[in-house]
Amino acid sequence: MRKLVQLGACLAIALGAISSASSAEYPAKPIEMIVAFAPGGGTDVAARSIARFMEKHLGSNARIAVINKPGAGGEIGWTALATAQPDGYTIGFINAPAINALVVENKAKFKMDDFQPIANLVYDPGILVVNKNSPYKTLKELIDAAKKAPNSVVIGTSGAAGSSEHIAILNLNRLADVKFNPAFFGGTAPVRQAILGNHIPSATMNLSEALQLVREGEIRILGIMDAERSSYMKDAPTFREQGVDLVAGATRGIAAPKGVPADIVAKLEDAVDKALNDPEYLEAARKAEIPLNFLKANEYKALLDKMTTDLEATWKVTPWR
């Protein structure tokens, strides 16, 4: 019996040594970074731009390959990420609150606890816009029109049911005691074309997706769903300034499957931190007007947990499907 105990102890030490050696050599092979959306979208651009700087700061001739797995509003890619081997060689972008919404609906094949948050990169506040020729000059005017004719005023959304934009509309309905009618366009490009063509009276999207059109005078922002005005668009008022306490937006961050060794998580977190402080990357992000918002792994997890809790409360009152 004593020999078996000694053998077990030796085996545990050996396995620990192998694990430590493996972690110390990480990354010893290419890393796959899953993007749950098609090439060319905001998440894909963010992934490809950060990947080469993470390679630089991981060292060891690190290589990161961005793998697109689009479909089902992100569920296909996120399921692949959640079920991958937790060895640090599969990481991916997750988009909150869209990913949290799938979990709250109880339709996803994963839970939020199936992910190990690594770092958040971006927070992109939601906005409400109208065409340049719209009769609505303020948020109040649009709300008043919807109150006079409930469910007749359409707000187009770049996402699907349960997306951050859709949930923002539901919360706007609740907070302003109004009934806007959401229209789902399934992507940023279609909803932008709809608002530019005056096919819908209003639309919601993320701020970064509308900056150029606003500056060109093609669309007008009625409100930004953030606690403060944006440094990118200082003249645009927040919802709070106009009496509606609505703060909503989308985050883009990196996660891994649950169970990745803590030291590998720390290496990846550190690589993201250094990448986001790399002067070359910062200049590229500034030119692209990417709204950076770095959160470490524990801070990112706290944010994701809060989003899930908030969505559970919203689902009870106004389910989105």
Cα separation of 223 and 210, whole Å? 12
Note the pLDDT of residue 158: 82
Q: Are residues 230 and 254 in the same domain?
A: no
- The domain of 152 spans 124-249
Q: Are residues 73 and 87 in the same domain?
A: yes
Last residue of a domain, one of 222, 249, 276: 249
154 belongs to a structural domain: yes
Residues 194, 185 contacting (CB under 8 angstroms): yes
Last residue of a domain, one of 221, 249, 277: 249
| Angle (CA) 225 102 259, round 5° | 105
Number of domains composing the chain: 2
Q: Are residues 109 and 195 in the same domain?
A: no
Phi/psi at 266 (5° precision)? -65, -40
Residues 204, 165 contacting (CB under 8 angstroms): yes
Note the pLDDT of residue 6: 53
Amino acid 119 reads A
169 belongs to a structural domain: yes
DSSP helix/strand/coil, 65: strand
Last residue of a domain, one of 229, 249, 269: 249
Q: Are residues 211 and 277 in the same domain?
A: no
Displacement of CA 171 from its chain's centroid (Å): 18
Q: Are residues 114 and 167 in the same domain?
A: no
Q: Are residues 168 and 182 in the same domain?
A: yes
DSSP helix/strand/coil, 40: coil
Contacts of 75 (CB under 8 A, 6+ apart): 36, 102, 107, 108, 109
Q: Would you give per-residue pLDDT tens digits along the chain (321 residues)?
A: 444 445 455 545 444 444 444 567 899 999 999 999 888 877 888 899 999 999 999 988 899 999 999 988 899 999 999 999 999 999 999 999 989 999 999 889 999 999 999 999 999 999 999 999 999 999 999 999 999 999 999 999 987 777 888 889 998 998 999 999 999 987 788 999 999 999 999 999 989 889 999 999 999 999 999 989 998 999 999 999 999 999 888 899 999 999 999 999 999 999 999 999 999 999 988 888 888 999 999 999 999 998 898 889 888 888 887
Q: Are residues 229 and 277 in the same domain?
A: no
Note the pLDDT of residue 22: 53
4 belongs to a structural domain: no
194 belongs to a structural domain: yes
Question: Which CA distances in Å does 291 have to 124, 179, 186?
Answer: 6, 31, 22
Q: Are residues 212 and 129 in the same domain?
A: yes
CATH number, domain at 146?
Answer: 3.40.190.10
CATH number, domain at 311?
Answer: 3.40.190.150
Which stretches of the chain are DSSP H helices?
2-25, 42-58, 75-82, 98-104, 139-148, 164-176, 188-196, 211-215, 262-276, 279-288, 297-317
Q: Are residues 155 and 245 in the same domain?
A: yes
Residues 217, 132 contacting (CB under 8 angstroms): yes
DSSP helix/strand/coil, 180: coil
Half-sphere exposure of 40 (CA within 13 A, CB side): 4
Contacts 24+ apart (CB under 8 A), 307-316: 307/96, 307/97, 307/100, 308/100, 308/103, 308/104, 308/112, 310/97, 311/97, 311/100, 311/101, 311/104, 311/167, 312/104, 314/167, 314/170, 314/171, 315/104, 315/105
66 belongs to a structural domain: yes
